[in-house]
Amino acid sequence: MTAKNTILVIGATGNVGRQVVSQLIAVTTCKVRALARNPAAAGLSDDVDVRQGDLADPTALEAALEGVDAVFLMWPFHSADPAATVVDAIKRHTPRVVFLSSGAVQDGLTPEQQPHPVGQSHGHVEHLIAQSGLAWTHLRPSTFATNTLWWADQIRAGDMVQGAYGAVPMALLHEADIAAVAVRSLTQDGHVHAVHHLTGPEVLTQAEQVRTIGEMLGRPLQWQELSREKARQRLLADDNFPDPFVDPLLDGYADMLAAPRPSITSTVETVTGTPARTYRQWVADHAADFV
Ligand SMILES: NC(=O)c1ccc[n+]([C@@H]2O[C@H](COP(=O)([O-])OP(=O)(O)OC[C@H]3O[C@@H](n4cnc5c(N)ncnc54)[C@H](OP(=O)(O)O)[C@@H]3O)[C@@H](O)[C@H]2O)c1
């Protein structure tokens, strides 16, 4: 990638995409273009060329792809339905894509064989990209630490966080680390046809995550275990939580509880030269979101 290259960031207003944009601006000389459905509400810096577009609308997407040298693609849908059109459009305009996939995609299985719905949809998108002839990199991150922002309302209101599967162990990832790997993959040699398995540096259960937030905020916080059905009803009543994601999330937790404890990878450090950030670091960076 040279100084004059233009990179299109899809999902630029999201947890990871916003970090990809800011890190591209901070550490590279590439021109940064962003796709947003509502540019006026995107809140991106003036250095970013924000284009209106929707992955479900090929015309606007084609316009945003004009003159682009590489694309950071995230997939916001619960199915792979418009993926063939999107991958075709990217292929017509640029040779290079870095795809934010998911650790739910399991090696050695076809998309149809993937046991989890997220693994199926992201597995399909990975497969289409790999078949397209694009020079690709797939990022397969473990659970995002930003998911724990779902507890912010409960933490503001009291000292308990209620939910199901408090014993589920996770290797939570800081969005800045996912973005740091994406930026290296977009701008440095050696990442074409790589599948980067990304995790945080430690494994913590949900109950331990709640305790960590309390320690960092200087308040005693505790996990209160709910039955799956009570947790389901709670999530369905939460206007900030998408209803179609409630059952896949709880099914995913049940699977994670039954699976072997997650392994830690060193990919973040190998790619970026810096160890993955701890969950304590993530809470420190987001403390204001919990008060
Ligand atoms: N959360 C986890 O634990 C986890 C773990 C592994 C993988 N993942 C994967 O990571 C991805 C989520 O990343 P994130 O947390 O950074 O995203 P996010 O914060 O949920 O943000 C969603 C982004 O998608 C964009 N978007 C939504 N619908 C769109 C559409 N129709 N066309 C174009 N853009 C659209 C939004 O942009 P505008 O609203 O501005 O248009 C926004 O930038 C998902 O694919 C998820 O499966 C998540």
201 lines ligand 1 (CB under 6 A): no
**Strands, E, within 124-267: which ranges?**
135-141, 160-163, 169-170, 194-198, 204-205, 222-225
In a domain, 71, yes or no: yes
The reply to whether 47 and 77 lie within a common domain is yes
Q: Which domain holds residue 88?
A: 6-141
Using DSSP's 3-state secondary structure scheme, residue 36 falls into: strand
The reply to whether 161 and 114 lie within a common domain is no
In a domain, 189, yes or no: no
In a domain, 193, yes or no: no
* Predicted pLDDT of residue 2: 60
Q: What is the pLDDT along the chain (291 residues), one digit of tens a residue?
A: 665 799 999 999 999 999 999 999 999 999 999 999 999 999 999 999 999 999 999 899 999 999 999 999 999 998 988 999 999 999 999 999 999 999 999 999 999 999 988 999 999 999 999 999 999 999 999 999 999 999 999 999 999 999 999 999 999 999 999 999 999 999 999 999 999 999 999 999 999 999 999 999 999 999 999 999 999 999 999 988 889 889 989 999 999 999 999 999 999 999 999 999 999 999 999 999 999
The reply to whether 65 and 161 lie within a common domain is no
Distance 233 CA to ligand 1 centre (A): 24
- pLDDT tens for 112-153 read 999 988 999 999 999 999 999 999 999 999 999 999 999 999
**Strands, E, within the chain: which ranges?**
6-10, 31-36, 49-52, 70-74, 96-100, 135-141, 160-163, 169-170, 194-198, 204-205, 222-225
- Probe ligand 1: pick from 8, 33, 35, 37, max atoms within 8 Å of CB? 37
228: Cβ contacts below 8 Å, ≥ 6 apart: 164, 165, 250, 254
55 lines ligand 1 (CB under 6 A): yes
Among protein residues, the one with the nearest Cα to ligand 1's atom 45 is 75
The reply to whether 99 and 156 lie within a common domain is no
Distances from the Cα of 65 to the Cα of 28, 42, 73, 133, 239, angstroms: 20, 18, 12, 17, 34
Among protein residues, the one with the nearest Cα to ligand 1's atom 20 is 14
Q: Tell me, what CATH number does 47's domain have?
A: 3.40.50.720
Question: In total, how many domains does the chain have?
Answer: 2
The reply to whether 43 and 63 lie within a common domain is yes
* Predicted pLDDT of residue 1: 63
* Predicted pLDDT of residue 78: 86
226: Cβ contacts below 8 Å, ≥ 6 apart: 162, 163, 164, 234
The reply to whether 123 and 24 lie within a common domain is yes
64 lines ligand 1 (CB under 6 A): no
Among protein residues, the one with the nearest Cα to ligand 1's atom 36 is 11
In a domain, 225, yes or no: yes
The reply to whether 136 and 254 lie within a common domain is no
In a domain, 18, yes or no: yes
In a domain, 181, yes or no: no
The reply to whether 151 and 211 lie within a common domain is yes
Residue indicated by tokens 């591209």: 24
The reply to whether 101 and 31 lie within a common domain is yes
Domain termination site, one of 125, 141, 157: 141
The reply to whether 85 and 151 lie within a common domain is no
In a domain, 219, yes or no: yes
Distance 98 CA to ligand 1 centre (A): 14
The reply to whether 135 and 163 lie within a common domain is no
Ligand 1 atom nearest to 103, measured from its CA: 6
The reply to whether 51 and 71 lie within a common domain is yes
50 lines ligand 1 (CB under 6 A): no
* Predicted pLDDT of residue 48: 98
Q: Tell me, what CATH number does 226's domain have?
A: 3.90.25.10
- pLDDT tens for 230-260 read 999 999 999 888 898 899 899 999 999 999 9
Among protein residues, the one with the nearest Cα to ligand 1's atom 15 is 15
In a domain, 183, yes or no: no
Distance 219 CA to ligand 1 centre (A): 31
Ligand 1 atom nearest to 16, measured from its CA: 16
78 lines ligand 1 (CB under 6 A): no
